Amino acid sequence: MPDHDGLNSVQLETYFALTEAAGLLQQAVERQLRAHGGLSYIQFHILARLDASEKPLTMTELADGVVYSRSGLTYQAGLLDQAGLIKRKSSPQDERATLVTITAAGRRRLRRVMPGHIEVAKTLLFDGLSDADVRTLGDIMSRVRDHIHQTSVRQSSRRRTTQ
């Protein structure tokens, strides 16, 4: 197999196909969320995580999911708060922490965009694949995701130690 700077041609094609397809999917999803829900993808993600959580989440817990600077999260949470989609209050246990909860309006907004969101995924991703493909893809990408989680100790979401 010919090597192009360290990747063989099968790897190179796989890499390009993955990044291009995922990028196109991502853009389509963002367009839909913006158009039908007035939400950025990150805002959607924050709402979805709060909706799935039994208990309120702190800003730090939220930041751990989104690979993100803390100020960026504060900014996005500020927008969601201002729109009445989340509520923030300081934690009774640790008064440094902020507890974030999704509001009823937040859940409504989520329910409003979900069908379109799902529709994009179905149209662009699943319509072209067999059930077996979907299972295989899910298996492979789950392993990739876990591998990346183990490998890159997501430095940007973690606070620099001191300083």
Partner DNA sequence: TATTGTTATACTCTATAACTATA
Partner DNA sequence: TATAGTTATAGAGTATAACAATA
Q: How far apart are CA 82 and CA 92, in angstroms?
A: 23
101 binding DNA? (CB under 7 A): no
Choose the contact partner of 59 out of DNA, a copy of itself, none; CB within 5 to 8 A by kind.
Answer: DNA
Do 109 and 37 form a contact (C-beta atoms < 8 A)? Answer: yes
Provide φ and ψ at 97, rounded to 5°.
-80, 150
55 binding DNA? (CB under 7 A): no
32 binding DNA? (CB under 7 A): no
Least spacing, CB of residue 64 vs DNA, in Å: 9
Q: How far is CA 136 from CA 24, 123, 125, 150, in A?
A: 21, 19, 14, 21
Q: Which two tokens stand for residue 90?
A: 């300081």
Choose the contact partner of 140 out of a copy of itself, DNA, none; CB within 5 to 8 A by kind.
Answer: a copy of itself
Choose the contact partner of 72 out of a copy of itself, DNA, none; CB within 5 to 8 A by kind.
Answer: DNA
Total number of residues that touch DNA (CB under 7 A): 30
Per-residue binder mask for DNA (CB under 7 A), 142-161, x = binder:
--------------x--x-x
Query: What does 88-109 look like in DSSP terms, one character per residue?
Result: EEE-SS-TTSEEEEE-HHHHHH
